[in-house]
């Protein structure tokens, strides 16, 4: 059974960002079809598409391969499907580094050193890169748009390589090269490579093209055994592995760094924010991106930024904030906290005690309902600790809720505009008090802070209620203000807060 391009779009379109696939490729060729596995196919699993920096996981689709049709010559890609569209130099560097890292494991396997070790699957990656030329093996042709095919004898592929006998048509390659988004794209071949009793495998070969022509070839060898449970693990591994290569954008690849904390750090920095991938990834660790979270930002002193000291803080906070992700981030320690994992009172009490003992200050964001927006709430936590320290309050944990208004004012008004925004009555009241020995300014501030509750205001000012009423009447008459007007009260309160900020 084949699914048409329209059906594909309806079923799987939500997993792709159309902008990532040019219209000419997506529609002109009616090119993307799914072929469901037959009786003798490999175990159905998830199909992964790596596009640029993004990984899309097509869940609940029993597909063993993705077929890209060009004219009458389709190319079948066993899962996972890898579409590499990043900088070709970055793909090259990452691939070379991956080859170097896996070569040691490969040697151990060949030497029989891994026979007694528990390895659920084995992935071996070989790369052969050639500059500005076409590599030919037997009857398999690799075409470059605008050039005649070049046949070379004696290829350098590993033994056992079986070339694909249906290359991509010249017209298809030419059309891809005309598309800016896809000009570096691929030719993919199937091959049987590296036959082993322990690790029966298949391979995918990707040929990379740049604007000048053929740039290089990357062969991915995957351990997929027919109807084996290990197949799904292998598909998972390869898909995530290539996603790491795309995200890391560096030649120094280390598979060990790609943890939950790594992806959160990338999210907070703004370097990676693909909702489809993150939603799928965090669901694997039982985190729903649409649940409630908070961000805790612990500001470190320069002497606290030594790795050993920072690691201690991470470990200590991880013990306090169970089920949270605590990790070093730039010059700080950050925790992303599921709101349901700890109540606010316990959080405030336990974290404040830790901060006090460690002589550290931290900011806590508001609760939010979308993990993908965590970066915005990191900024809240950073603002809270900055404004909290500036306020001089004797505490160690500052909640953004208490500083939201100050943050709004300081962020909304530029320095020159702050004084012009000030309600003219504020300065006038201060000058009147100075010239006449009165205390109308304090009366106004306490009255507004107490939400116009006259009894509470009189007690706080230690004056009789009738005295307060007289002061308020005189104040409104002398300064020409109306305290019954909501808009006037709002501007007066903002002005009082702004005055505090300017004074600091």
Partners of 137 in the β-ladder: 140
Q: Are residues 175 and 93 in the same domain?
A: yes
Sheet holding 54-63, edge to edge: 54-63, 45-51, 81-82
pLDDT band at 418 (very low <50, low <70, confident <90, very high): low
Q: Are residues 286 and 308 in the same domain?
A: yes
Total residue length of the chain: 504
Class of residue 363 by CB neighbours under 10 A (exposed 0-12, middle 13-18, buried 19+): buried
Q: Are residues 57 and 189 in the same domain?
A: no
Q: How many CB atoms lie within 10 A of CB 173?
A: 23
476 CB-near residues (< 8 Å, 6+ apart): 482, 483
Q: Are residues 59 and 139 in the same domain?
A: no
- The reported pLDDT for the residue numbered 396 is 94
Q: Are strands 202-210 and 124-129 parallel, antiparallel or unpaired?
A: unpaired
> 237: which DSSP letter?
H
Does residue 256 form part of some domain? no
Q: Are residues 222 and 121 in the same domain?
A: yes
Give the Cα separation of 221 and 102 in Å (integer). 12
Q: Is the pLDDT of residue 379 over 70?
A: yes
Q: Is the pLDDT of residue 342 over 70?
A: yes
Give the Cα separation of 28 and 24 in Å (integer). 5
Which CATH number belongs to the domain containing residue 391 in this structure? Answer: 3.30.70.270
CA angle 445, 447, 448 (to 5 degrees): 70
Q: How many CB atoms lie within 10 A of CB 107?
A: 11
Q: Are residues 293 and 427 in the same domain?
A: no
Does residue 69 form part of some domain? yes
- For residue 377 the two structure tokens come to 């709430």
Of residues 153, 192, 149, 155, the one with CA closest to residue 169: 149
Give the Cα separation of 378 and 390 in Å (integer). 19
Which CATH number belongs to the domain containing residue 492 in this structure? Answer: 1.10.10.2840
398 CB-near residues (< 8 Å, 6+ apart): 361, 362, 363, 364, 384, 385, 387, 388, 389
- The reported pLDDT for the residue numbered 394 is 86
* 35-49, 131-145, 247-261, 398-412: range with highest mean pLDDT: 398-412
* Residue 202, CA atoms < 13 Å, CB-side half-sphere: 19
Q: Is the pLDDT of residue 212 over 80?
A: no
Among the candidates 394, 411, 428, a domain finishes at 411
Q: Are residues 272 and 377 in the same domain?
A: yes
Give the Cα separation of 211 and 82 in Å (integer). 20
246 CB-near residues (< 8 Å, 6+ apart): 50, 52, 53, 54, 55, 84, 86, 91, 94
Does residue 257 form part of some domain? no
Class of residue 233 by CB neighbours under 10 A (exposed 0-12, middle 13-18, buried 19+): middle
- The reported pLDDT for the residue numbered 414 is 59
Q: Is the pLDDT of residue 310 over 50?
A: yes
Residues 370-375 have a mean pLDDT of 91
Give the Cα separation of 407 and 487 in Å (integer). 20
* 37-41, 419-423, 464-468: range with highest mean pLDDT: 464-468
pLDDT band at 103 (very low <50, low <70, confident <90, very high): very low
14 CB-near residues (< 8 Å, 6+ apart): 276
End-to-end Cα spacing for the chain: 71
Q: What is the largest CA-CA distance in the chain?
A: 106
Q: What is the mean pLDDT of the chain?
A: 58
Does residue 55 form part of some domain? yes
Range name among 173-177, 222-226, 401-405 with the lowest pLDDT average = 222-226
Q: Are residues 351 and 443 in the same domain?
A: no
Q: Are residues 205 and 125 in the same domain?
A: yes
pLDDT band at 104 (very low <50, low <70, confident <90, very high): very low
pLDDT band at 303 (very low <50, low <70, confident <90, very high): low
Cα 430 off chain centre by:
50
Q: Is the pLDDT of residue 446 over 50?
A: yes
- The reported pLDDT for the residue numbered 494 is 84
Q: How many CB atoms lie within 10 A of CB 246?
A: 22
* 4-8, 263-267, 268-272: range with highest mean pLDDT: 263-267
Q: Are residues 54 and 165 in the same domain?
A: no
Give the Cα separation of 466 and 120 in Å (integer). 83
Q: How far is CA 424 from each of CA 414, 427, 428, 434, 489, rounded to the nearest angstrom? A: 18, 6, 6, 16, 13
Q: Are residues 56 and 201 in the same domain?
A: no
**Residue 32 is inside which H or E element, if any?**
strand 32-35
Query: Domain of 105?
Result: 88-251
**Is 200 in contact with 216 (CB distance < 8 Å)?**
no
- The reported pLDDT for the residue numbered 504 is 60
For the range 151-154, what are the long-range contacts, defined as Cβ-Cβ under 8 Å and sequence gap of 24 or more? none
Among the candidates 196, 217, 251, a domain finishes at 251
Class of residue 477 by CB neighbours under 10 A (exposed 0-12, middle 13-18, buried 19+): exposed
> 212: which DSSP letter?
T
Does residue 406 form part of some domain? yes
Strand stretches in 212-366, DSSP E: 213-222, 293-299, 325-329, 332-338, 361-364
The total domain count for the chain is 4
* 485 against 238, higher pLDDT: 485
Among the candidates 205, 226, 251, a domain finishes at 251
Q: Are residues 134 and 165 in the same domain?
A: yes
- The reported pLDDT for the residue numbered 305 is 64
Of residues 467, 390, 483, 465, the one with CA closest to residue 429: 483
């Amino acid at each position: 059974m084949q699914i048409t391009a329209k059906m594909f779009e309806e079923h799987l379109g939500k997993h792709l960002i159309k902008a990532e696939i040019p219209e000419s490729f997506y529609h002109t060729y009616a090119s993307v079809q799914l072929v469901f596995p037959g009786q003798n196919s490999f175990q159905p699993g998830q199909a992964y598409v790596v596009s640029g920096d993004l990984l899309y996981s097509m869940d609940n689709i029993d597909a063993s391969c993705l077929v890209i049709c060009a004219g009458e010559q389709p190319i079948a890609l066993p899962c996972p499907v890898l579409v590499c569209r990043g900088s070709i130099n970055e793909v090259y560097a990452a691939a070379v580094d991956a080859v170097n890292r896996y070569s040691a494991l490969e040697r151990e396997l060949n030497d029989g050193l891994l026979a007694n070790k528990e390895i659920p699957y084995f992935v071996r990656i070989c790369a052969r890169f050639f500059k500005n030329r076409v590599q030919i093996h037997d009857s398999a042709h690799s075409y470059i748009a605008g050039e005649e095919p070049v046949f070379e004898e004696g290829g350098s592929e590993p033994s056992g390589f079986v070339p694909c006998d249906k290359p991509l048509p010249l017209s298809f390659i030419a059309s891809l090269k005309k598309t800016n988004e896809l000009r570096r794209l691929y030719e993919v071949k199937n091959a049987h490579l590296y036959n082993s009793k322990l690790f029966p495998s298949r391979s995918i070969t990707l040929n990379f093209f740049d604007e000048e022509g053929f740039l290089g070839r990357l062969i991915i060898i995957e351990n997929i055994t027919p109807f084996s449970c290990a197949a799904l693990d292998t598909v998972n591994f390869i898909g995530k592995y290539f996603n790491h290569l795309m995200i890391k954008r560096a030649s120094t690849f280390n598979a060990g760094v790609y943890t939950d904390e790594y992806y959160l750090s990338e999210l907070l920095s703004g370097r990676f924010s693909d909702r489809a991938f993150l939603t799928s990834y965090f669901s694997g660790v039982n985190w729903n991106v649409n649940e409630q979270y908070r961000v805790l930002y612990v500001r470190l002193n320069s002497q606290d930024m030594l790795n050993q000291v920072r690691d201690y803080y991470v470990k200590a906070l991880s013990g306090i904030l169970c089920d949270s992700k605590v990790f070093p981030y730039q010059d700080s320690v950050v925790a992303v906290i599921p709101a349901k994992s700890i109540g606010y009172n316990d959080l405030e009490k336990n974290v404040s005690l830790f901060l006090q003992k460690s002589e550290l200050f931290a900011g806590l964001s508001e609760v939010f309902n979308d993990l993908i927006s965590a970066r915005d709430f990191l900024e809240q936590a950073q603002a809270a600790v900055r404004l909290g320290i500036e306020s001089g309050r004797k505490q160690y944990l500052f909640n953004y809720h208490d500083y939201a208004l100050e943050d709004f004012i300081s962020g909304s008004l530029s320095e020159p505009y702050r004084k012009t925004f000030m309600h003219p009555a504020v300065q006038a009241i201060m000058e009147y008090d100075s010239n006449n020995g009165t205390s109308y300014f304090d009366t106004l501030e306490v009255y507004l802070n107490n939400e116009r509750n006259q009894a509470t205001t009189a007690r706080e000012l230690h004056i009789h209620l009738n005295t307060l009423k007289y002061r308020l009447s005189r104040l409104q008459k002398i300064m020409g203000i109306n305290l019954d007007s909501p808009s006037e009260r709002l501007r007066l309160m903002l002005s009082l807060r702004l005055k505090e900020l300017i004074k600091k």
